Amino acid sequence: MDADYLPMSIKKSFSIEYDFHASPQLLFQYLSTPSGLSEWFADNVNSRGERFTFIWDDSEETALLLQKKNNDKVKFQWQNDEEDDGEYYFEFKIQVDEITKDVSLIVTDFAEEDELEESKMLWDNLVSDLKQVLGAS
């Protein structure tokens, strides 16, 4: 093994579930469209086909829309130039309880172990913004 080789940090998958007082159809619009995502996730979002560009104050990231199932889930993959990016994605899944009809949003993402708590807090804040936009807190 090459002495200069340092293994990349391995990111771990995590999921967080949030309760919502909104219809799956309305929630889905905010998770799957550039205009909806720019209300809470980024300052601005543009898309060309499956390629979404997320813009914040001084940075820009591109993600590929991997999966979109109406009123159910949306899955994106960041398009950085790192070789291990193919394994990592973030996903929004809407779950509706059969009996109570309660709506939940399950966010799945990846983070390095030492950044896990920070990543969860970031999602807490983002989802809190989404709930305010929806008036669903």
Report d(CA 76, CA 99) in Å as an integer.
Answer: 30
pLDDT at site 44: 96
> Is 107 domain-assigned?
yes
Per-residue CA distances from 33 to 18, 73, 98 (Å)? 20, 12, 26
> Is 114 domain-assigned?
yes
pLDDT at site 84: 55
pLDDT in tens, 72-96: 999 999 987 665 556 789 999 999 9
Predicted structure pTM score? 0.88
> Is 2 domain-assigned?
no
> Is 126 domain-assigned?
yes
Whether 31 shows a pLDDT value over 80: the answer reads yes
> Is 71 domain-assigned?
yes
> Is 72 domain-assigned?
yes
Whether 36 shows a pLDDT value over 70: the answer reads yes
Give the chain's domain count: 1
8-state DSSP, 89: -
